[in-house]
Amino acid sequence: MTDSCLCCLQREAQLQKLRGEAAVAEGRQLSDEEWAERAGLPSVKALHKALEAGQAAGLHIVKVNMGLLMKLTGKFHSQVRHPCGKRSPAYYFYTLFCREAGCVLQTSCN
């Protein structure tokens, strides 16, 4: 994980917390204009860019971790067997994971 991903995630979390606290205190959701102003951002466009960057960073981190998980389970899925001769849980996880998440990994960030 890069530092920029972490910063984007933290900034998004701060922005969401600010909006949530204001909603509780005032009993209503802030408009995007109010939200940007309270966050100290120059415009609604800057607010949306910060939120999108946080969401993209989160998705990137998930994809990287999924790739690592696939690599690890793929390495061991055919090698490990239970003493009774059955396939390992890693094999079943890998098979399910490839089926369910394979399409997501094909569109991963560069």
Domain regions of the chain by residue span:
3-105
- The secondary element (H helix, E strand) that includes residue 79 is none
Residue 9 pLDDT greater than 70, yes or no: yes
pLDDT tens column, 41-79: 999 999 999 999 999 988 888 888 877 777 776 666 555
Phi, psi of 108, deg, nearest 5: -65, 160
If one compares 45 and 3, the residue with the highest pLDDT of the two is: 45
* CA dist., res. 11 & res. 51, Å (int): 8
If one compares 15 and 82, the residue with the highest pLDDT of the two is: 15
User: Model's pTM, two decimal places?
Assistant: 0.62
- What confidence score (pLDDT) does residue 6 get? 83
- What confidence score (pLDDT) does residue 29 get? 92
Q: Quick check: 59 and 74 in contact, CB under 8 A?
A: no
If one compares 15 and 97, the residue with the highest pLDDT of the two is: 15
For the chain, the average pLDDT equals 77
